Amino acid sequence: MAVHAHPDDESSKGAGTMAKYVAEGVEVLVVTCTGGERGDVLNPRLKGDPEIEENIHEVRRAEMERARQILGVQQAWLGFVDSGLPEGDPLPPLPEGCFALEKVETAAEPLVRLMREFRPHVVTTYDENGGYPHPDHIQCHRVSVEAFDAAGDPDRYPGTGAPWQPLKLYYNQTFSRARVQALHAAMLERTGSSPYEGWIERWDERGDRIEREITTHVNCADYFEVRDQALLAHATQVDPDGSWFAVPMDLQKAVWPTEDFELARSLVDTAIPEDDLFAGIR
């Protein structure tokens, strides 16, 4: 079970890993916490289209369905409303009724129900910083941890099904500095330019980036094309000519053929580093 904040997050964080496991016969469920209603249209070819902007909720549901089919996963909506990404100084308040303002227990209840129905052995989500500090990503972390810890307890969340305890909880760590710098150096060597130059400069300027411990590297290079197809299915959210697709596929596969995770909880014995989310379970 992969728990994500918005439609498109599943295709940019761990999609190759999911496609790999689907091909191996694993059942994979993507849980999408919000409808992504407040996401900006980032594809310049679609920006300003009134039909899209007036029906963004339906558009993003349709995009999610196309991505789901490409990845071969199952998918469920938790049904909460996108909080948007507040900008400005000082930051404006979050909109009333949004996902990030829900009580954790309220937001976790439908996820506990899904865990008890789907009965996953492994759950993936974001770390306590959300991967980046979007309020929905941070809330997704809180809700996922709450549900992971509660789903196996018969005294918690009564009426949401028979208890089921997932065995491992992981945080997506797709955008580690080590990966970005490796791809950056490879692009400079091959082409003399890199889409990651601005990223590294901003990290250096802020000086506040804390590197997480990467415990698990899943080799899924054979599924990078599937990952990109799924991401492109979220057409309103992705510029097909943008930095997501600037690194040639052969370079990606040669330089960094894995997707990476941080093991946050394990109820089984496993040896670090891992190369399989199901290490200790299979």
Indicate if 186 and 144 belong to the same structural domain: no
Question: In this model, does residue 204 exceed pLDDT 90?
Answer: no
**What digits encode the pLDDT tens for the residues 120-174?**
999 999 999 988 889 999 999 999 999 999 999 999 999 999 999 999 999 999 8
Domain extent, residue 199, equals: 177-211
| CATH value at residue 147 | 3.40.50.10320
Indicate if 254 and 144 belong to the same structural domain: yes
Indicate if 15 and 153 belong to the same structural domain: yes
Q: Residue 256 phi/psi, 5° resolution? A: -145, 80
| Whole-Å CA distances, 98 to 5, 10, 274 | 12, 20, 37
- Residue 97 resides in a domain: yes
pLDDT of residue 63: 97
**4 carries a ligand binding annotation:** no
The C-alpha atoms of residue 48 and residue 50 are separated, in whole angstroms, by 6
Indicate if 89 and 182 belong to the same structural domain: no
pTM value is 0.96
The partner residues of 262 in beta bridges, in order of sequence, read: 171
- Cα–chain center distance at 201: 24
**Per the structure block, which two tokens stand in for 246?**
């600037």
Indicate if 73 and 18 belong to the same structural domain: yes
How many residues are recorded in the chain? 282
Collect all residues with Cβ–Cβ distance below 8 Å to 227 and sequence separation of at least 6: 11, 15, 16, 19, 220
Indicate if 109 and 185 belong to the same structural domain: no
Tell me which residue of 119, 109, 206, 114 sits closest to 158, measured CA to CA: 109
The C-alpha atoms of residue 214 and residue 212 are separated, in whole angstroms, by 6
Indicate if 205 and 150 belong to the same structural domain: no
User: Per the structure, how many domains does the chain have?
Assistant: 2
Q: Which amino acid is at 267?
A: L
3-state helix, strand and coil shares in percent for the chain, rounded to the nearest 5: 40, 15, 45
Indicate if 53 and 88 belong to the same structural domain: yes
Indicate if 92 and 181 belong to the same structural domain: no
- Residue 231 resides in a domain: yes
Indicate if 94 and 147 belong to the same structural domain: yes
Indicate if 222 and 257 belong to the same structural domain: yes
Using a pLDDT cut of 90, give the percent of the chain over it: 85
**9 carries a ligand binding annotation:** yes
Indicate if 198 and 101 belong to the same structural domain: no
